[in-house]
Every structure is written in structure tokens, then in C-alpha cells.
């Protein structure tokens, strides 16, 4: 029997699009460590953290995670229930290396909108000896003027027939 270490991602997202972005990032990172490592994902929508009982369950899962990915599209400050969730697990997280990744949202919104959230998360992770990474919003692909974007397809797939 072969032993495979495990790696746990915790995805916390504002809405569907932010959740998809967090999942895509965890999938890309997982592809770099699998099959040598057993990877698991836990996913939580911001709205679920309103409920104190669910927030405690999410906090327990976050304490065990190797990487927590917070993905937001339109947040200039974290909602109080998300801040509360952070305060419940960060100081009590399991020993060992861990990272918190903040995925910035929409490219159409100014980066200055995220300054408060970025600074809050950076300070929290520093105090709790956790690595912090901030990922800018994805760049929008520029399509030729005669191409209409199709939902669900990458820009490369969209005009592979055009080229």
C-alpha cells in the first residue's frame, strides 16, 4: 500500500462567478501536485456564513485547510459575517504551513476598491503566521470586432475557427 499525503483546499466565494474562479485556481494548483498528493476541496458561499452554526462548521474546516482561497467580485470590504468567520478560525488554525489566497474580482472595478480587504487579510495572515497571496482579476480577452463572445467558452476556443 502506497502512502499519499493529503492537501486540502477551502474555497470561500461571493457568488457563482467568484466560485468558478476559485475552483479553477484550485484545480490548476491540484494538477501540479496530483497524483503524488490526495487533494480535497471544501466550498462555501459567503451567504452560508451568515448562519452561526454553519459558520462554525466552515471555521473548523478552514482550521484544517492547507490553502484557503477567498474569491470576491464586488467586495470593497468583507461582510461582517465573513470577518467573523476569519476571526473564528485564523487564531486557532492547525500548526504547520498554510496560505490564504485572495482572488480579486472584476477587472472593470478599480484595484483601489480592494485595498481595505487586501490590507485586512494581509494583516490577519501576518499576525497568524500564514502566507498571503493576492491574485489580480483575470484579463478580459480581446476578441476581433466581428466575433460575439459565447458564454462558457474561452477566448481561444471562441476564435479558433476564425484564425
pLDDT tens profile 84-93: 999 999 988 8
pLDDT of 163 over the 80 cut: no
- Give all domains of the chain, ordered by start, each with its CATH number: 6-158 (3.40.50.360)
Which has the closest alpha carbon to 118: 138, 110, 85?
110
What's the pTM?
Answer: 0.79
Residue 13 or 93, more confident:
13
What's the pLDDT tens digit per position in 32-87? 987 788 899 999 999 999 999 999 999 999 999 999 999 988 767 789 999 999 99
Spatial distance between the Cα atoms of 72 and 61, rounded to a whole number of angstroms: 20
Q: What is the pLDDT of residue 162?
A: 37
Amino acid at each position: 500500500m502506497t502512502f499519499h499525503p493529503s492537501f486540502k483546499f477551502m474555497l470561500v466565494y461571493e457568488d457563482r462567478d467568484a466560485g468558478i474562479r476559485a475552483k479553477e485556481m484550485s484545480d490548476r494548483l491540484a494538477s501540479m501536485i496530483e497524483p503524488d498528493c490526495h487533494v480535497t476541496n471544501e466550498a462555501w458561499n459567503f451567504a452560508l456564513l451568515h448562519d452561526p452554526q454553519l459558520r462554525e462548521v466552515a471555521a473548523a474546516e478552514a482550521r484544517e485547510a492547507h490553502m484557503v482561497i477567498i474569491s470576491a467580485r464586488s467586495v470593497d470590504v468583507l461582510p461582517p459575517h465573513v470577518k467573523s468567520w476569519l476571526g473564528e478560525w485564523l487564531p486557532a488554525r492547525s500548526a504547520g504551513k498554510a496560505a490564504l489566497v485572495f482572488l480579486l474580482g472584476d477587472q472593470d472595478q478599480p484595484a483601489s476598491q480592494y485595498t481595505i480587504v487586501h490590507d485586512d487579510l494581509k494583516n490577519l495572515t501576518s499576525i497568524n503566521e500564514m502566507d498571503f497571496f493576492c491574485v489580480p482579476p483575470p484579463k478580459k480577452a480581446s476578441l476581433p470586432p466581428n466575433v460575439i463572445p459565447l458564454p462558457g467558452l474561452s477566448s481561444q476556443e471562441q476564435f479558433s475557427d476564425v484564425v
